[in-house]
Structure 1
Amino acid sequence: MTGSRAEVGMRVVHRRYVPYSHAHYAGNLVDGAYSLGLFGDVATEMCIVTDGDEGLFASYADVQFVAPVRAGDVLEVGCEITRVGTRSRELSLTVHVVARGAATEARPGAATVLDEPLLATTATGTVVVPG
């Protein structure tokens, strides 16, 4: 691909089910690194879409773990370009819980779609693409 298609406001969104194999803590909590890994995935797609290359994640800034992520959740992971440099892109990254497991003894597979997505994690990231 020649030239970049990167523009402020471009957005990539992924959805992901959190398997129970990722629960590490009481209450089926998932560690914060899980969200950071998902940020890497959406940032990679953003680099591919805009620059035809997977790019490299250079840094995270202002990572905030706002609400818990649990096994059984369905997450929506968003990535939006907030600044375009010659070879760098600054990204606004979010994880929202859009559905949550609601298992009971009578219904071990029960789950519910949340009326309003729950903001779980935010960060700012910088990626670098070839010149």
Structure 2
Amino acid sequence: MKVVHQRYVAHYAGGLVDGAYSLKLFGDAGTHLAITVDGHESLFAGYSSVEFLAPVRGGDIVEVEARLAARGRRSRTVEFELRVLCRSLDETGRAEVLAEPLVATRARGTGIVPADATRTRS
């Protein structure tokens, strides 16, 4: 099970975007995944790993994937990946679609479904 979000990075005017931006998008995709899997937003317990592999810049179009890696009774292990699909070429608004997506950030974390909210879904 996975969900995918795409977004235009509209701020920072072509400059480098902080790593917290990727984590914010992971939170959104993780919540979407939790609702899809369990019908509840869940509570995010934390990340066990985060890797910043390449820069994210203003003007990029990024894709964020949240994939269910493991399911416990109430815990959900989620693997996240942020990929840059398009990149701004300069300050004039010119941009290009990258031949291959650039993996910029990876993470793994755990969400917890409250006991009264668990249900079985496929």
Normalised to the residue count of structure 1, the TM-score between the two structures is: 0.84
In structure 2, how many angstroms separate the alpha carbons of the residues matched to 1:100 and 1:49? Answer: 30
In structure 1, how many angstroms separate the alpha carbons of the residues matched to 2:9 and 2:48? Answer: 24
Q: 2:6 aligns with which of 3, 15, 32?
A: 15
Equivalent in the alignment of 1:96: 83
Q: 1:40 aligns with which of 20, 23, 27?
A: 27
In structure 2, how many angstroms separate the alpha carbons of the residues matched to 1:76 and 1:31? Answer: 16
Runs of 4+ with deviation above 6 angstroms: none
Equivalent in the alignment of 1:3: none
Matched residue SS, 2:48: strand
Displacement, 1:130?
1.9
In structure 1, how many angstroms separate the alpha carbons of the residues matched to 2:113 and 2:4? Answer: 20
Offset from partner CA, 1:24-60 (integer Å, 9 cap, x none): 9xx6000000000000000000111111111111010
Normalised to the residue count of structure 2, the TM-score between the two structures is: 0.90
CA RMSD of aligned residues (A): 1.3
Q: Alignment identity in percent? A: 51
Equivalent in the alignment of 1:128: 112
Structure 2: 5+ residue stretches without partners: 116-122
Structure 1: 5+ residue stretches without partners: 1-9
In structure 1, how many angstroms separate the alpha carbons of the residues matched to 2:25 and 2:71? Answer: 21
